[in-house]
Structure 1
Amino acid sequence: MKRIGSWYGNLLGICMMMTTIAVTAAAAPEQLVLAPLFSDQMVLQREQPLPIWGQAAPGSVVTLHLLDAQGAAITSASGEAIADDSGHWQITLPALPAAGPLQMEVATARQQITVKDVWLGDVWLASGQSNMEWPLSAQTENWQQAVKDAAYPKIRFLKVPNRVAATPQRQLPATPLAPSGATHWLAASAETVPDFSAIGWYFAKQNHLEKGVAVGVIDATWGGTVAQAWTPAAALWMLPAYQQAATAVIAQSQELAQALAQQIINKTPNQQPHWLPGVLFNAMIKPLVPYGLKGVLWYQGESNVDQAVHYHALFSTLIQSWRDEWQQPLPFLYVQLASYLQPKAQPAASAWAELREAQFQTLQLPATAMVVTTDLGDANDIHPARKKPVAERLWLAARRTVFGEAIIASGPVFSSLQIEGKQLRVRFEHVGTGLYSKDGTLRGFAIAGSDGKYHNATAKLEGNTVLLWSDKVAKPVSVRFGWADFTDANLYNSAHLPAVPFRAGEAK
């Protein structure tokens, strides 16, 4: 905690040396403008109320109509609002079934905007750091073959530009702020798909093929970022580990805003502006609220490994704060960290294992699902090339958690531990029709006696249990599985999903 406070303090100290600037209200708009989220080729969430918003001259009456492919107005798909004193307006259409292509007409007495090629389908927010951001063409496994099968124009992506903000923003930028993309929707093609998030692409394709609807993915990602930057600073105030930093950001928001605008913050390691509490939420997530979503796809945690002890509370707070913003229990489907760094022959302490444990604990929240990827990692690369299996497992999680299908979507999960003399017996749930070791001798287990010293264990499958022993542990009391930065654990269930790493039997 001392280290956390110190680097935030240094970063914000730069802002405090600046002269406080007066804040002037932005001039109200004179023209009708849609929020940049609403552009040609967009996908709106089916079967949910549809908030549409933008700006207009204060007091203007704004009307909105959805039209079918023949240009006829869709019954009940219309609305009206009056722009408030700041020019903001919002119209919420009733829930509508999957459909398209449609047009959306928005008008005032003096101006009309027509948005074309609009579809009603499923919309997902993909967020986190680089492994979710990682584009298909960045040497992911079999990416060139994937591009050859990219002619699915009903799959659309919108890339949120990377930026930070000291306070919550109402709108995304109307023009691109980074070479990675502009704020508008793109339909899938051989030309566009290489730049899409690889996980997002494979997931969207499964959704489209299996549910037969248009699919939109909003990509709000930034490599090398921490979870606290994606969490509202006001929510972080409730967490002791982040309270001081969050309070400073809130109290000094004017100074911070000017420092960010002038890019004068010292960009030394661990003092990046995009690591500050709430700044990515403010700039990249808040402007998306309340766009209709089917759920959230999340892959992050690598940059929080050195603070794994705080991650369960932090990640839980992030999820709940986003749900509060959208005022609905958004499903959160997330990826547990893959194996990384050089494997060790003997059991050892592991910050990566502790972070994975914190991710597993977050399943205590409703409407969450986690996919295990320890078997998909790369000892030499924090960005594993195998992105398609990650997306396929996320899709299984979506089918069960979001669509309510009665399928196996999780690997084996620890259920109970029993001491049997010199042996331990571990029971699992989510086994399907049975357990198996994927490639030979069962690996990944370690046991310890009351001294807490772990040794690799011999493991034997017996039905839906695993029997463990070691000549070096006369009286075993605790067990760890897959507890390493890089693990070769190979226990699977009948759905061919890997077991969740765990530890059990240790003194609290």
Structure 2
Amino acid sequence: MKKYSFCISLIICLLVGNVSVSLNKKENKKRIEFQLNSLFKDHMVLQRDMPIPIWGKAEAGTTVTVKFANSEKSTVVDSNGKWRVNLDALNANFESRTMLITSSINKDVIKISDIVVGDVWICSGQSNMQMGVGGVPEIKALIPTSSNIRSFKVKNTVAFQPQETCDGEWVNEHPNSAVAFSFAYFLQKSANVPVGIILTSWGSSSIEAWMPREMTKTVPHFKTMMDEFDADTNTKNRIKTILEGVKPWARKDDIFLRRQSNILYNAMMHPLIPYACSGLVWYQGERNTQSMHGMPKKPWFSRNSGMLKYGETLKEWVKNYRKSWNNDDMHFMVVMLPGYGKILDSGTDINLESPDSHSWAWMRESQLKVLELPNTSVVNTIDLGHVKNIHPKDKLPIGKRLASLAMNAVLKSGTESYGPIFKKIKTKKNTLVIYFDHAKELKTKDGKAPKAFWLSDDSKKWFPADAKIKGKTIILSTSGLEKPLYVRYAFTGKPTVNLVNGVDLPAYPFRTDTFKP
């Protein structure tokens, strides 16, 4: 009997022990380390003049308190282990200050040092945004006189699911991007506040690479792309193998990753939401110029919007990001693609000088559609670029124009930041009169007649126009047509232009016809 009692007691002890071990395992599994989102680190810049979200993870039920400047906010961590507070809006401040974040469990304290308050901008896109400062001597020369610029570089990687954190550090120096640095430089000098740049860019990436999966509901071709991706086991396995393999990646693997859809967004943009910022600078589009109508069967990496669908896709992208950040005032500044001589062989006309060829002119028209949304700007680069180099070095004017647009559109400086923009057209006998906005002191840079105007009628044949400036208008005529009806301006891959306003900003390209390409 004693033998049986001993066995029963032993079994009970083992069972109780197993239950205890099992409970401990569950407790360990549920335990969440007290932490902040990866953007909240020493040397960071906080956005001025708007509520500042601070968020992270901790044990459910924990009270978290955030103290910074004169603002103190507390919250209780939810059942998913997530917490967030919104600090009160702050004025710009160059003073280096410290933030304290405390947890009610174990009295844990996280301290973030050397924080300033100013203007924060996200700079994103592909290789022309990524191009380094060292490759542009005029911008490199700005370094000795730059100050109060800080940057956070998001590590280039991908993920199958949206990530909550990313790799990167705030540094007390300029970003290594010619466009982002020159923009920050001139913005800082004009606004006289600290400037923070969050740089998240990757060469060869399409706009679809930076789109969340939920956009399959609003962008039909993106749904097709994601359905294809989900069914492509080989691609997914290759991505997984690359991510788990030796680093740094081989060049072919690096290119393979960055040319995918959605997975750049998951790893390099989603972790930034909802960090308070003035807006986002977007220099991208080259990848989407590989076709007119989009979604060619081959090569696989050309399956994207193409040039004609890009405009509507871009607008949906902006609206989605604003919804994610819960900020309808979030400003988007798009860098227009500059001059480049490539002509697609999809058109009947492959003449570089023709306004009817399938050139980057159609992408620029698509990019300008973003202006149909409020709180958007487009940097005009029609006078820049290189006919044979897709990575032109004339980035300094882009930085200046971005800063001017930001000062005007976001900071309400009242300075002129746009070149002449087409307003309306009138017919007078055998001439056409073009009216512009932003046309004060309309002139040409070289004192010669305005260039790059073309005229047509319903025949769809285009003839170079004779152009004359009259006040804020341009008078157009041509010997090739008795009654011209339509105008195209600077509507070629690499047009030669000279029309500017009083502050030497170039006129924006446009067309008045509705001919289908």
TM score, norm. by length of structure 2: 0.82
Rounded to whole Å, the distance in 2 between the matches of 1:27 and 1:252 is: 33
Residue by residue, what CA displacement relative to the aligned partner does 1:35-88 show, whole Å, maximum 9, x if unpaired? Answer: 22111100011121111122223333322222xxxxxxx33x122233334432
Task: Give the match for residue 113 of structure 1.
Answer: 110
Residue by residue, what CA displacement relative to the aligned partner does 1:345-366 show, whole Å, maximum 9, x if unpaired? Answer: 4444133111100111210000
Which of 174, 182, 185 is the equivalent residue of 1:205? 185
> Which range is displaced more, 125-134 or 429-438?
429-438
Is the CA contact 1:417–1:505 (under 8 Å) kept in the aligned structure 2? no
Is 1:473 aligned with 2:481?
yes
Task: Give the match for residue 194 of structure 2.
Answer: 214
Segments of 5+ residues of structure 2 without an aligned counterpart are 1-27, 245-249, 292-305, 343-350
Segments of 5+ residues of structure 1 without an aligned counterpart are 1-25, 67-73, 174-182
Residue by residue, what CA displacement relative to the aligned partner does 1:455-485 show, whole Å, maximum 9, x if unpaired? Answer: 2222111221112222222332111100011
Rounded to whole Å, the distance in 2 between the matches of 1:159 and 1:494 is: 37
Tell me which amino acid in the other structure corresponds to 2:145: D
Deviation at 1:337? 0.8
Rounded to whole Å, the distance in 1 between the matches of 2:50 and 2:225 is: 37
Is the CA contact 2:152–2:199 (under 8 Å) kept in the aligned structure 1? yes
Task: Give the match for residue 366 of structure 1.
Answer: 374
Tell me which amino acid in the other structure corresponds to 1:44: L
Task: Give the match for residue 334 of structure 2.
Answer: 334
Tell me which amino acid in the other structure corresponds to 2:177: S
Which of 341, 355, 369 is the equivalent residue of 2:363? 355
Task: Give the match for residue 205 of structure 2.
Answer: 225
Task: Give the match for residue 169 of structure 2.
Answer: 184
Structure 1 vs Structure 2: percent identity of aligned residues? 30
Rounded to whole Å, the distance in 2 between the matches of 1:82 and 1:259 is: 42
> Which range is displaced more, 266-275 or 424-433?
266-275
Rounded to whole Å, the distance in 2 between the matches of 1:242 and 1:31 is: 37
Task: Give the match for residue 293 of structure 1.
Answer: 277
Rounded to whole Å, the distance in 2 between the matches of 1:503 and 1:85 is: 56
Task: Give the match for residue 126 of structure 2.
Answer: 129
1:224-243 alignment, distance < 5 Å: 224-243=204-223
Residue by residue, what CA displacement relative to the aligned partner does 1:416-466 show, whole Å, maximum 9, x if unpaired? Answer: 222333322222121123333445332111111221011222211122111
Deviation at 1:299? 0.9
Task: Give the match for residue 317 of structure 1.
Answer: 316
Structure 1 residues 29 and 208, CA gap change in structure 2 (3 angstroms): farther
Please state whether the residue corresponding to 2:383 is helix, strand or coil.
Answer: helix
Is the CA contact 1:426–1:466 (under 8 Å) kept in the aligned structure 2? yes
Tell me which amino acid in the other structure corresponds to 2:54: I
Is the CA contact 1:59–1:83 (under 8 Å) kept in the aligned structure 2? yes
Is 1:281 aligned with 2:265?
yes
Tell me which amino acid in the other structure corresponds to 1:334: V
Rounded to whole Å, the distance in 2 between the matches of 1:325 and 1:345 is: 42
Is the CA contact 2:454–2:489 (under 8 Å) kept in the aligned structure 1? yes
Structure 1 residues 337 and 59, CA gap change in structure 2 (3 angstroms): same
Please state whether the residue corresponding to 1:442 is helix, strand or coil.
Answer: coil
Rounded to whole Å, the distance in 2 between the matches of 1:284 and 1:264 is: 15
Deviation at 1:395? 1.3
Structure 1 residues 269 and 283, CA gap change in structure 2 (3 angstroms): closer
1:27-426 alignment, distance < 5 Å: 27-28=29-30, 30-66=32-68, 74-75=69-70, 77-99=71-93, 100-108=95-103, 109-110=105-106, 111-138=108-135, 140-150=136-146, 152=147, 154-173=148-167, 183-188=168-173, 193=174, 196-249=176-229, 259-263=238-242, 272-305=256-289, 306=291, 307-329=306-328, 330-341=330-341, 344-426=352-434
Deviation at 1:316? 0.3
Rounded to whole Å, the distance in 1 between the matches of 2:363 and 2:66 is: 47
Structure 1 residues 257 and 94, CA gap change in structure 2 (3 angstroms): farther
Rounded to whole Å, the distance in 2 between the matches of 1:263 and 1:500 is: 43
Please state whether the residue corresponding to 1:338 is helix, strand or coil.
Answer: coil
TM score, norm. by length of structure 1: 0.84
Higher relative contact order (CA 8 A, sep 6+): 1
Residue by residue, what CA displacement relative to the aligned partner does 1:104-155 show, whole Å, maximum 9, x if unpaired? Answer: 11222433221110011110011111112211112x14244223323x1x21
Is the CA contact 2:204–2:287 (under 8 Å) kept in the aligned structure 1? yes
Structure 1 residues 285 and 270, CA gap change in structure 2 (3 angstroms): closer
Is the CA contact 1:233–1:277 (under 8 Å) kept in the aligned structure 2? no
Please state whether the residue corresponding to 1:376 is helix, strand or coil.
Answer: coil
Rounded to whole Å, the distance in 1 between the matches of 2:55 and 2:358 is: 47
Is the CA contact 1:44–1:120 (under 8 Å) kept in the aligned structure 2? yes
